[in-house]
Amino acid sequence: MVQAYPFTTNSFLPYSDQGVMGGIVSLPSFINRFDNPDPGLLGFMVASYDIGCLLGAVVAFFRGDKFGRRWAIVYSCIVVIIGAILQTSAYSRAQYIVGRIVAGVGVGCISVTVPIYVSECADPSWRGILVVLETTIVIVGIAISNFTNFGFVYSRPELDGKEGQWRTPLGLQMAFPPFVFLLMPFTVESPRWLAAVGRTEEVAEVLARLQGRGATADTPEIREQAAIIIQTAAHEAEVDSSWKESFAGGELQNLRRLILSASTGFFHQATGINVVIYYAPVILRQIGLNDRMAYIMSCIGSICFLIGSALPVLWVERAGRRKTMMLGAWTCGICMGMIAATGAVSKNYPSHAFAAGWAGAAFVLAFQFSFGIGWNSMNWLYSAEIGSLRMRNKTAATQCFLHWSTNFLTVMVAPTGFATLGWKFYLVWMSITLAAIPYLWLCFPETAGRTLEQMDDFFRAYPQWNIGKVAYVKVDSSEPTSFSEKDGSSPAKHIESSC
């Protein structure tokens, strides 16, 4: 588990951009530099980052398994630095957009690889906690960038109206990748990736290093774990590996796993979270706060987001992923509905606008807190756990693709949505988020407390979509023979209740 620590630095990258952009899109110096873009163009300039993330997910889908988890992260960080340089030095819309796309490619690859790496290296009892911690540190990046924006806008009068107000925060994104480069030599490669590419002799040694406490490659527990991982990889290698099989049913249920993983990426963004993050100052001004107070409330919102994101550490391995996601869907949907309600009061009853504005601000903060509790970590964690060994990278990449494509859509349409629908815009996010609850209950198996190999046996035992009544049933793959049965017997004979 020590091996996951270096990626706390890497975890600042995916969302530090959102925190930065949330503060600079309304700066006069930024608007003037890029010739006063209209709302549609401004939305595209912000959302172009997500185009890069989409491309990064595609790269990870097709090439992510080639270099291994560690080197994939290193190469991605290099791409992020190049993109940040292009953005920071931009004097034209074209260069700025290209820089955001390039940075997005690197972040898209990182978003796929880091949760997989942590999940493949962690003990099942710690896997959820480590991924929650990793994504919580992402929100530390948002909080830092929000306070950095506030400092440059309101605490540096010598920069008022100057481009240093937004170039410096963009440039600070380059501060984190070098730490990844420094710490990477102290990490190990994923033992499951090593087994998948045939480097089986290294699996036990890596597992021993991850466990620590004096364990060696010859420790019985380590040898047993290594045997299960190696036999799983060997069994999957025997199954037809054509692209057609990868997107069909079959023994491994790959298409079903891809759809479940993609669904988490879609619902994560369909809550409207990045509308809130990117445009928080705009939203808060819309409900009646002045510019300075809107920035302050944005900073407070990032703290609420951070606290909410950290709390699942206390229960994610006991309550599990399904209940946590359903809790998040319910609370986020209610908060969006209340934001819409306060907006309606402000518009229709001007005499109550001040009180309604502050109530709306409170529900924006409550939304960020609720999203942190229920959704922030779960889609990254679930997509890294749900895939088979051979398809795990592709499954996580598919989730990432839906995550960033939905992100692109929401950020792109936000300026137009605010301008045309006003408070009704929030009802869209409320409806989609609440609709996720029955889908989560009926179709999503629980992954908490199970090894990644046991998830393979679950899908073999239960090929149907409606698994609401058996979602918590555990299929025991501790016996090596369960991977090599050729007689067609059901893996269900290994089932034991884990409720």
Q: What is the DSSP string of 186-241?
A: G----HHHHHHTT-GGGHHHHHHHHH-TT--TTSHHHHHHHHHHHHHHHHHHHS--
Q: Which helix (H) or strand (E) holds 475?
A: strand 473-475
SS3 474: strand
For the chain, which domains are there? 9-176+245-443 (1.20.1250.20), 202-238 (no CATH)
Q: What is the pLDDT of residues 317-354, one digit of tens each?
A: 888 899 999 999 999 999 999 988 888 887 788 777 77
Tokens describing residue 241: 């590996």
Residue 475's DSSP bridge partners are 495
> Using CA atoms, how far apart are residues 449 and 474, in angstroms rounded to an integer?
9
Nearest-CA neighbor of 14 among 311, 499, 360, 377? 377
More confident residue, 151 or 306: 306
> Using CA atoms, how far apart are residues 456 and 491, in angstroms rounded to an integer?
10
Are the beta carbons of 410 and 274 closer than 8 angstroms? Answer: yes
SS3 174: helix
- Cβ atoms within 10 A of the Cβ of 330, count? 16
Position 17 scores a pLDDT of 58
Nearest-CA neighbor of 450 among 415, 499, 407? 499
SS3 495: strand
Tokens describing residue 36: 């006063």
Handedness of CA 148, 149, 151, 156 (dihedral sign): positive
Q: What is the pLDDT of residues 229-288, one digit of tens each?
A: 888 788 766 655 555 655 666 777 888 898 999 999 999 988 888 777 766 666 676 666
Position 248 scores a pLDDT of 64
Confidence band of 14 (pLDDT split at 50, 70, 90)? very low
> Using CA atoms, how far apart are residues 109 and 159, in angstroms rounded to an integer?
35
Provide DSSP, 112-124.
HHHHHHHHHHS-H
Are the beta carbons of 86 and 106 closer than 8 angstroms? Answer: no
- Cβ atoms within 10 A of the Cβ of 463, count? 12
Position 442 scores a pLDDT of 92
- Cβ atoms within 10 A of the Cβ of 91, count? 10
Position 384 scores a pLDDT of 85
Q: How many residues does the chain have?
A: 499
Q: What is the pLDDT of residues 397-454, one digit of tens each?
A: 888 888 888 887 887 777 777 778 878 888 988 999 999 999 999 999 998 888 888 8
> Using CA atoms, how far apart are residues 423 and 419, in angstroms rounded to an integer?
10
DSSP class of residue 26 equals T
> Using CA atoms, how far apart are residues 301 and 277, in angstroms rounded to an integer?
9
Residue 495's DSSP bridge partners are 475
Q: What is the pLDDT of residues 127-155, one digit of tens each?
A: 888 888 888 888 887 788 777 777 776 65
Residue 209 C-alpha from the chain's centroid: 27
| Angle separating helix axes 13-24 and 273-286, nearest 10 degrees | 20
